[in-house]
Every structure is written in structure tokens, then in C-alpha cells.
Structure 1
Amino acid sequence: MIFKMKEKGFQAELEYDVLNVSADENFGFRPYQLLISSIVGCSGGVFRKILEKKRLAYEDITISANVKRNPEIANRIEEIHLVYTIIAEDLEPSKIEKALELTRKNCAMIQSVQDSIVITEEFEIKQSK
């Protein structure tokens, strides 16, 4: 990937679209937003594949990320807590727990940062309407 400097940040022309990165969110995505998005996107994609391989039916999945940053040390990200909300008719919590364990093991982004950022997960299952 090649990032070119612009007046308020950097820009990369990628296959899908142009990516603008800036410390000022009026001019692009902030770096911490991209890091969190990478972790959520990767883990969510792996989680979905695992559910499908295990033939666990669901209607929708939402992932919220609660982030703890340390303002004393460059405002670095120290903790990310992921909450998976799964809308489904009939899922056994034990199967979701196992799927999340496999997700953690197979998500490249979590594996890349696990020694420097504490990542925790929880889930809730909501019944379909």
C-alpha cells in the first residue's frame, strides 16, 4: 500500500475505494478508528464464517467496541472490549462461546495485537421478532 501525504493527512488509493487517514476526523478516518475497525471487521468476519460452518443460524450480528485509552502514554489503546449481539431464534450459549474462542485464535488482527492490547469479548443473544 502506498500512502501519499495530503494537506491534512494521508491518502491511499485501494482496490475498493480511496482511504483518507487524518488525525482530524473532518478530513479522514482517525488512526485509532482504523485500528478498532480492523479488529472488529476481522473478528466479525471470522465469527460469521465459523457460525456458518457450524450451521448455526442467525439473522443479524452487531459488534460494539468499548475502548480504553491511556492519555498518559501517547493516548495509546490499552483495552478493547467487544460485545457481540446476535439476533437468532434458537442458539445455545455454549456453542457461541466455542465459536468466539475459535474466532480469537483465527483472527489475524487480534493475534497481531494480543501481546500489547487486552482484548475481551462477551455476547448476548436476542430472540428474533
Structure 2
Amino acid sequence: MDFLLKENGMRINFEFGELDISGNEDYGFRPFQLMVASIVGCSGSVFRKILEKQRTEIEDMKITAEVERNPEEANRIERISLKYTIKGYHLDPDKLYKNLEVARRNCSMIRSVEDSIKIEETIERIELSM
């Protein structure tokens, strides 16, 4: 990957498109936003694949991330709380949490930061009727 210096940050071109990174969100995505988005994107996609393999019928999934940063240590990310809101049919809470644990073990982004950032996960179920 080649990152190019620009006046207010960095830029990289990927096959999917151009990405601007800056500490000022007027000029690009902030680095902490990309870190959180990587963790959520990885975790959510692995979790969805597991739910599909388990034939769990979901209509929708939303992940809300709350981030706690430490301003006394360069604004480092200390904790990310992920809330998975899942809409679907016959949602067994024990099965959902077991599948989320499998997803956590198989998400490369969570595994990469698990010793330095506390990641907490909760699930809210919205049961749909047929």
C-alpha cells in the first residue's frame, strides 16, 4: 500500500476508490474512525456469515459503536462498546451470543487489538413475527 502525503493528511487509492485520511474531518476520515470502522466491519461481516451458516433468519443487523478515548494518552482508544441490534425470526439469545463469540475469535481486526483495546459486545434482539 502506498500512502501519499497531501496538504491536510494522507491519501491512498484502492481498487474500490480513493481514501483521504486526516486528523481534521473537513479533509478526510479521522484515523480513529477508520480503526473503529475496521473493527465493526470485520466483526459484523464474520458474524453475519456465521449466522447464515447456522441458518438463523435475520432481516436486518445494525451495529452501534461507542468509543472511549483517553485524552491524557494521545487520545488513545481504550474501549469500544459494540451493540448488535438484530431483527429476525426465532432468535435464540444463547445461540446468538455463542455465534458472536465464534465471530470474535475469527475477526482479524479484533484479534489484532484485543490486548490493547477493550472490546465489549451486547446484542439486542427484535423478534419479527411471520
TM-score (norm 1): 0.98
Q: CA deviation at 1:128?
A: 2.8
Q: CA deviation at 1:91?
A: 0.7
The residue aligned with 2:12 is 12
Cα distance in 2 for partners of 1:115, 1:127 equals: 35
Task: Render the CA deviation track for 1:1-36: whole Å, top value 9, x for unaligned.
Answer: 111001110000101000000001011000000000
Q: Which residue of 2 aligns with 1:41?
A: 41
* Amino acid paired to 2:5: M
Amino acid at match of 1:7: E
Is the contact between residue 91 and residue 127 of structure 2 (CA under 8 Å) also seen in structure 1? no
What whole-Å deviation, never above 9, does each CA across 1:91-129 have from its counterpart, x for those lacking one?
A: 100110111100110000000000000001000101237
- Whether 1:88 and 2:125 are equivalent positions in the alignment is no
Give unmatched runs, 5+ long, in structure 1: none
Which residue of structure 1 aligns with residue 115 of structure 2? 115
Q: What number of residue pairs does the alignment pair up?
A: 129
Distance 1:128 1:113 in 2: 35
1:22 corresponds to which residue? 22
User: Structure 2: which 5+ runs fail to align?
Assistant: none
TM-score by length of 2: 0.97
Question: Displacement of 1:90 after TM fit?
Answer: 1.6
Q: Paired residue for 2:99?
A: 99
Give the superposition deviation at 1:89: 2.1
For 1:54 and 1:44, the matched residues in 2 are separated by 15
Cα distance in 1 for partners of 2:82, 2:48 equals 15
C-alpha distance in structure 2 between counterparts of 1:76 and 1:105, whole Å: 23
Q: Could you tell me the percent identity over the aligned residues?
A: 53
Cα displacement string for residues 48-83 of structure 1 (whole angstroms, at most 9, x for unaligned residues): 000001111100000000111000110000000100
Which runs of structure 1 show a deviation greater than 2 angstroms over 4 or more consecutive aligned residues? none
AA paired with 2:54?
Answer: K
